[in-house]
Amino acid sequence: MEVVVVGGHGKIALKLLALLAERGDRARGVIRDPAQAPDLEAVGTEAVVCDIEREELTDAVKGVDAVVFAAGAGPGSGTERKRTVDYGGAVKLIEAAKANAVARYVMVSSIGAHDPDSASGTFRAYLQAKADADRELADSGLDYTIVRPGMLSDDAGTGLVDLSTELGRRSAVPREDVAAVLAEALLVPGTVGKTFECFGGEIPVAEAVRSL
């Protein structure tokens, strides 16, 4: 499978790219800083340079089987960049996928995106950006899967998760396990059309993804 991961130098994205390369998929990551390219090459993937706030993604996704949106403006950013990255970048990827007839799109969203009004300030803007991007994807006609991880940690992955289409719970999950869930979801047609939350848990990733 040929996959493009947008936000390719992100913490989840790098782990996902490594997993894809390990299982023999051809993966490339979209980055905005060319100096990050060696880190993508070190895990057996290629880098494509594109600043998603300033450029289109059309060329970056040419000829691929699936796209993953794993970019984010990050914790230090303000309301404006939540719109330009978390929302605008995700929508650009929808448009690019459609323009290239790439049907499969996996989104890294967030818990809380089902109810942005429960938050305030910049965090509300973040959840609204995620919610709006998720809605556009669900309405896009693409074969989508929306993954909403809980609070991310850099703890080592356990390979054990708790996935649920029932939204509104709160818990944590290692980024490594989120990456494993994303990699598995790309293989499982039963995840198409699903939105689910992702936490650390007790069920092996492959089993959890297949039972959604």
Angle CA(177)–CA(168)–CA(207) in degrees, nearest 5? 35
From the CB of 196, what's the least distance to ligand NAP, in Å?
A: 13
Please give the backbone phi and psi of residue 178, each rounded to the nearest 5 degrees, phi first: -65, -45
Helices (H), 100-204: 121-138, 175-185
From the CB of 183, what's the least distance to ligand NAP, in Å?
A: 14
Does 9 help bind ligand NAP (rule: CB under 6 A)? Answer: yes
Does 185 help bind ligand NAP (rule: CB under 6 A)? Answer: no
Does 28 help bind ligand NAP (rule: CB under 6 A)? Answer: no
From 64-72, 161-169, 181-189, 203-211, give the range in contact with ligand NAP by CB under 6 A: 64-72
From the CB of 90, what's the least distance to ligand NAP, in Å?
A: 9
User: Which string of b and e fits 137-165 if b means at least 16 CB within 10 Å?
Assistant: beeeebbbbbbbbbebeeeebbeebbbbe
From the CB of 69, what's the least distance to ligand NAP, in Å?
A: 8
Residue nearest to ligand NAP (CB): 10
From 17-25, 45-53, 116-124, 157-165, give the range in contact with ligand NAP by CB under 6 A: 45-53
- C-alpha Rg value of the chain to the nearest Å: 16
Under a CB-based contact definition with an 8 Å cutoff, are residues 140 and 104 in contact?
no
Rule CB under 6 A: choose which of 45, 100, 110, 145 binds ligand NAP: 110
Instruction: Please give the structure tokens belonging to residue 25.
Output: 């998929």
Which residues of this protein are in contact with ligand NAP, per CB under 6 A? 7, 9-13, 32-33, 51-53, 70-74, 85-86, 108, 110, 149, 151-152, 175
